[in-house]
Amino acid sequence: MASSSASNDRYTLYGAPGSGATPVHAALTLIGAQVDVVDVSPWEGESERERVSSINPMRQVPALVLPSGEVMTESAAILIWLGDRYPEAGLCPTPDDPLRARYLRWMVYLPAAIYSMYWVRDEPTRLTPDPAAQAVMLERTAERIAHCWHLMDTQIDEPAPYLLGEKLSMLDLYVTVLSRWTPHRKRFYREAPRMAGVVRRVDADPRLAEFWAARFPFSMG
């Protein structure tokens, strides 16, 4: 899938294994670009957050330094930009493709409805010092995430075999990684039976086997 222009492009990606940098890294792997990785885990505490603060004042990953030197944050924006930058990789519908509206809808739904919940979950003390309230927040955000997966699953077309049809897209990579997080795949499979087959397919994609093993080993089928 790599084109000669992609293989000449060099990126620096901030984000530890299993983080939101993972779908970005998976996309860059399929695109065939060069990636220097800086493993940072901001959810582990202040010192890790400080390590990324000069690159992203939000002190979050992923952050991607483009070949131009510009820094991009926001996982969905990065994935959409990469998809458009490397059309030959075929990882997104082009702007005039009828599937584009659906693609953008769900690419924005994921960070707005689901990924945003992890800011609370990563450090519940940011919203309340009360341990009992923190426990409630953890439980309710997990339920909210599960419900949002369910709502997405009931509104998508039957995957054929991917979320946008025949071709694997950025959307499949994004859902595959986010669905591994709390409340985890067992619950995801129950809430989102249509998407269950998609994420299993992406988990098992031979083009990503080495990548998954190195950056987000995952065994649940």
- Which residues would be at the binding site for ligand GSH (CB under 6 A)? 19-20, 42-43, 49, 59-62, 73-76, 111, 115, 118-119, 122-123
Place of tokens 């998609």: 198
In the bound complex, what is the minimum distance in angstroms from residue 88's beta carbon to ligand GSH? 25
Q: Enter the tokens of residue 64.
A: 């991607």
Can you give 96-143 as a three-state secondary structure string? CCCCHHHHHHHHHHHHHHHHCHHHHHHCHHHCCCCHHHHHHHHHHHHH
Whose Cβ is closer to ligand GSH: residue 31's or residue 55's? 55
Whose Cβ is closer to ligand GSH: residue 19's or residue 169's? 19
Q: What is the DSSP letter of 162?
A: B
Contact by Cβ (8 Å): 43, 70: no
Q: Are strands 63-65 and 34-38 parallel, antiparallel or unpaired?
A: unpaired
Whose Cβ is closer to ligand GSH: residue 111's or residue 124's? 111
Cβ count near 148 (within 10 Å)? 18
In the bound complex, what is the minimum distance in angstroms from residue 76's beta carbon to ligand GSH? 6
In the bound complex, what is the minimum distance in angstroms from residue 206's beta carbon to ligand GSH? 26
In the bound complex, what is the minimum distance in angstroms from residue 178's beta carbon to ligand GSH? 9
User: Rounded to an integer, what distance in angstroms lies between the CA atom of residue 218 and that of residue 203?
Assistant: 8
Interaxial angle between packed helices 184-191 and 131-155, expressed in degrees from 0 to 180 and rounded to the nearest 10 = 40
Whose Cβ is closer to ligand GSH: residue 19's or residue 179's? 19
Give the three-state DSSP class for 190.
Answer: helix
Whose Cβ is closer to ligand GSH: residue 119's or residue 211's? 119
In the bound complex, what is the minimum distance in angstroms from residue 5's beta carbon to ligand GSH? 25
In the bound complex, what is the minimum distance in angstroms from residue 45's beta carbon to ligand GSH? 9
The residue of the chain with the least Cβ separation from ligand GSH equals 60
User: Rounded to an integer, what distance in angstroms lies between the CA atom of residue 5 and that of residue 68?
Assistant: 14
Whose Cβ is closer to ligand GSH: residue 121's or residue 201's? 121
- Ordered alpha helix ranges (H), 9-116: 21-31, 46-53, 75-85, 100-109
